Amino acid sequence: MRLSNCCYAVTGLGYSAPWFVNAGLIAGDKRTLIVDTGGNMHAAQTLHGYAVAAKPGNLLQVINTEKHFDHIGGNSYFRDQGVEVWGHSGIARTEAEFQAEIAEFNDGIVSSARRAAGEAKAFFSGTRLVNPNRALDEETTFDLGGCSASVLFTPGHTATNVSVWVEEERVLYTGDCLINEYVPNLDAGGVADWKVWLASLERVEALRAEIVVAGHGPVARGDEVQRVIDTVRRILDEAIARGVSPTAG
């Protein structure tokens, strides 16, 4: 969906039910920045098609907002097209971790017959683990021609989370720093990480974005942006007070 002059959201990309994952496109006059690549090669193909249609002839580049496989699973497709993939310098995953993700995905299938058939392999067909080939050690701004995209470090969900801010259009892509209508995943960290996450929320809030594309859930607009921030903050505060993730156990 088109959000503004340069900004687009691609929502509803498949992952683990009932979760879907989002991605974004920021199409300048010369370059298009793709924010996250979905969970597999098939999502990446979809994103590539939208990116080419949005601004034919643009140079493409990708940024990963974090290291979890639902955000980086399509990297291999883009690298095979010669597209550079940027990400935090600490984002690298291993092949063993990727294989464990596939096994966990398969174990989550309700039907024993489908589990036995290993149907997760259909979801991950054509998908290889590829880490970013361009490392970000500090915040940066990409000049896309006619608009720019600023990469902000917003750790907490993981230590390597980043957000992408298009200031002139007041559009923010947060990855999993913000989640809309789902309970945010706090299980990757502990109390110290959640306190860092709270500080990232303060930074995100200060931007006064008018449109937010969270890592998961519907796009938030206008007053809804503050509601999303407040909801994640409340869940973090409660988890810190209890010392346990709301989804633990």
Ordered by where they begin, the domains of the chain are: 7-93+129-242 (3.60.15.10)
The residue ranges of the chain whose pLDDT is under 50 are: none
The pTM of the whole model exceeds 0.95 = yes
Residues 6 or more apart whose CB falls under 8 angstroms from that of 178 comprise: 184, 201, 204, 212, 214, 215, 220, 228, 229, 232
The Cα 124–Cα 50 span in angstroms is 21
Residue 198: what pLDDT? 98
Q: How far apart are CA 172 and CA 61, in angstroms?
A: 18
Contact predicate 200/229, CB 8 Å? no
pLDDT of residue 249: 67
- Long-range pairs for 15-20: beta carbons < 8 A, 24 or more residues apart: 15/39, 15/70, 16/70, 16/105, 16/108, 19/70, 19/182, 19/216, 20/216
- Residue 76: the pLDDT is 97
* Beta bridge partner(s), residue 171: 166, 211
Radius of gyration of the chain (CA): 17
Dmax (CA) of the chain: 53
pLDDT of 137: 93
Q: Count CB neighbours of 4 within 10 A.
A: 15
